[in-house]
Amino acid sequence: MKCKKVHTRLLSFYEGTLPQGEMEQVKRHLDQCETCRQLYHQILASWKMAGEERIPYQPFFYTRVRQRMANQSRPAGSRVRHLARTAIQPALFFVVLGLGITIGIQLGKGIGSQQTAQVENQQNEYLEAYAENQFWNGFQLESLEQELFFADTTSLTRSLNKQEDSHE
């Protein structure tokens, strides 16, 4: 049997599940081929180690499950905040923008001077640019904040769990 063929039969050889003839062929090859023999031992070593790994009974596990359930059942506050950030904030910007423009137009009509109209146009442009920026930033900030917030809470629960572990 060639090395390459042996390589795909190492685990089955270890388990003894190959057909009788192949079992013997692999054994003969491993007796003769140093490279394959080493590979066999290395693969077997990692295989056994992964199987052995076991986490024992965790005494405070139920308490933690209960705690998390309690935390999950009152996310109302954060939902309102989320809504505020995603919907109400941008909406407010449009309202402010609209108001600015209307007031600007009314003022322009009232005074009628070219100079003030110019200034007021500039103001509108500025206001528009500002609102637009704020609007987009609002969205970008929002997802960034969410990422950060999420990362924070998970690392926080992890470190809390770790602390608990060390008390156990």
Q: Which does 92 bind (CB under 5 to 8 A by kind): Zn ion, another protein, none?
A: none
Query: Which of the choices another protein, Zn ion, none does residue 33 contact, using the CB cut-off of 5 to 8 A by kind?
Result: Zn ion
Q: Is 160 in the site for another protein (CB under 8 A)?
A: no
Identify which of 128, 71, 122 has the alpha carbon closest to the alpha carbon of residue 114.
122
Q: Are 1 and 26 in contact (CB under 8 A)?
A: yes
Q: Is 3 in the site for Zn ion (CB under 5 A)?
A: yes
What are the E-state strand segments in 52-96? Answer: none
Q: State the binding partner of 57 from another protein, Zn ion, none, CB within 5 to 8 A by kind.
A: another protein
Q: Which does 146 bind (CB under 5 to 8 A by kind): another protein, Zn ion, none?
A: none
Q: Does 147 bind another protein (CB under 8 A)?
A: yes
How many whole angstroms separate alpha carbon 82 and alpha carbon 142? 9
Contact 69, 93 (CB under 8 A): no
Distance CA(66)–CA(159), nearest Å, equals 18
Q: Using the rule CB under 8 A, is 1 a contact of another protein? A: no
Contact segment (CB under 8 A) with another protein among 26-34, 48-56, 106-114, 128-136 equals: 48-56
Distances (CA, A) of 144 to 16, 83, 107, 147, 151: 54, 16, 40, 5, 11
> Which residues contact another protein (rule: CB under 8 A)?
7-12, 39, 42-43, 45-47, 49-51, 53-58, 61-62, 64-65, 68-69, 72, 147, 151, 154, 157-158, 161-162
> Which residues contact Zn ion (rule: CB under 5 A)?
3, 33, 36
